[in-house]
Structure 1
């Protein structure tokens, strides 16, 4: 069975490289067919310069979508062949400009027939194929520019990992995990405070017995995230979203979003009208998560935490 039939689309990079190698190999032979001493990899730079305008290496790299080091190397190779020349910018002596040499201009004229024939051959292949590769490449380039393949794979991984996350209610056997995850998280960024110990050392009395709730996120059975709803009786907010901590091991598994979303849904099921939280702006991923859930910045409430520099609310 053909290798690519076995692997499917996951081997797209390898297949594209093979196609590129095949076309590049033919390209080298095509230049010989027309008695032109040129390497296929030079063509984008050569063609750009053949339009007649002097350009810096940076401008060339931007025009053809290559890296600066790659274009610099190609220019060095073309200089040795005598196809290009360099000169100082008259308006800025710090800039080197590149243009075709007299020999390069002659080559640009000799290559015209070759380009006509190559274009005709590519058109012939397109006419004989059901799927239009050139148009498809353009579509892929556009789509990958909007969102890279890496980004898309990261999202698919997160979706798949999310299926392994289970949100469960607090049980006494989870007290150690509730405390450890919060201590790990708080100590990493800040200093543990008296109010932290009150909640973490006695979650039953400080949170649960007062009408609050604690949820845990289990990933393949292991507690990797915790979050609490602390009952508030200030006449404005029903609950405070607090003591949310996610293990570094859960990074990229969507644990934080699933856990926070479950806590919000829990508050809704209890008839809450508003949820309050306190955080710190150095925790950008957390702040972004809260914004994504619909929390908005508020100010003015007294806080027991020295680390708090932002207060937010969610109107349900």
Structure 2
């Protein structure tokens, strides 16, 4: 086990597969020892049918949590061995019902001694260990049903990469990035409009001098995202969250989330009670982000943008 001690937990799949292969190999020898003509992979199907009920392939697959094609293949293999009898379901001729044949039931009688000895052997192994493998497997299965290992790895990747993101206040040196990043995403989905040019060509005059602010997300000192807070002359809203753009090269690194959180925090420090934004439902990731931040859809208002088809607000607590 020196290799696994060296590699560690990242080799969990390889280690579990090796353990499974070892146990499966022993299982084949155990069946042979008791002169039971079964293959290890047939056991779940065999056991379900050994309880005496006729079942459809769909019902078996659901009970043992295997795919329908996998169970169907096993049924075919067991039928060739004469262990199973198949017949059409009287209630639904499209379905087959299966049960153990006489030979299958004879094996079921013979296998009982094997079960007894196998359970004793496994209990012996458990007595020699510090951890209950069976309980641990149950725990892992339950936890992974709530959230898969794949999802957890994606979350950890995003968390790690987001630690490299720094949020900085806008300075004139970032004007090119503010324009380039916004023009990139707008041109990808829509077209640049007059209101875009006003803000992007003169952010100091259009946003900053009127009491707004702009934040820039940096990775290794390279601008990868921008977001603005525009002061509104409106009795219902203090600021508009606008001109949020993230480089495609930085997507998946939590940049949008970090920028939005930072701009909302900035609004809080400025005493804002409500923030407004405009977007388009075509931008599903952005809409999901806004919902996650607590924004809610509001009734349509006059807008300078043709592409706007959804307006949202956030009440700052």
TM-score (ref. length: structure 1): 0.96
Where do residues 156-195 of structure 1 align in structure 2 (5 Å cutoff)? 156-195=156-195
3-state DSSP class of the match of 2:55? coil
Alignment partner, residue 209 of structure 1? 209
3-state DSSP class of the match of 1:209? helix
Contact 2:227–2:263 (8 Å) recurs in 1: yes
Alignment partner, residue 292 of structure 1? 292
Alignment partner, residue 245 of structure 1? 245
Alignment partner, residue 41 of structure 1? 41
C-alpha distance in structure 1 between counterparts of 2:93 and 2:192, whole Å: 59
Alignment partner, residue 197 of structure 1? 197
Alignment partner, residue 89 of structure 2? 89
Alignment partner, residue 135 of structure 1? 135
Mean Cα deviation higher: 51-60 or 38-47: 51-60
C-alpha distance in structure 2 between counterparts of 1:125 and 1:19, whole Å: 14
C-alpha distance in structure 1 between counterparts of 2:129 and 2:164, whole Å: 43
Q: Supply the RMSD in Å over aligned alpha carbons.
A: 1.5
Structure 1 residue 307 corresponds to structure 2 residue 291 = no
Mean Cα deviation higher: 184-193 or 76-85: 184-193
Runs of 4+ in 1 over 4 A off after TM superposition: none
Alignment partner, residue 144 of structure 1? 144
Unpaired segments of 5 or more residues in structure 1? none
Mean Cα deviation higher: 6-15 or 244-253: 244-253
C-alpha distance in structure 1 between counterparts of 2:256 and 2:29, whole Å: 56
3-state DSSP class of the match of 1:111? helix
Contact 2:300–2:310 (8 Å) recurs in 1: no
Alignment partner, residue 231 of structure 1? 231
Where do residues 266-285 of structure 1 align in structure 2 (5 Å cutoff)? 266-285=266-285
Displacement of 1:246 in angstroms is 1.3
3-state DSSP class of the match of 1:87? strand
C-alpha distance in structure 2 between counterparts of 1:193 and 1:54, whole Å: 68
Displacement of 1:201 in angstroms is 2.1
Mean Cα deviation higher: 32-41 or 47-56: 47-56
Displacement of 1:300 in angstroms is 4.1
Aligned residues: 316
C-alpha distance in structure 1 between counterparts of 2:294 and 2:140, whole Å: 34
Alignment partner, residue 26 of structure 2? 26
Unpaired segments of 5 or more residues in structure 2? none
Change in Cα spacing, 1:70 to 1:304, as seen in structure 2 (3 Å) is same
3-state DSSP class of the match of 2:210? coil
C-alpha distance in structure 2 between counterparts of 1:130 and 1:243, whole Å: 58
Contact 2:295–2:313 (8 Å) recurs in 1: yes
C-alpha distance in structure 2 between counterparts of 1:188 and 1:45, whole Å: 53
C-alpha distance in structure 1 between counterparts of 2:258 and 2:200, whole Å: 22
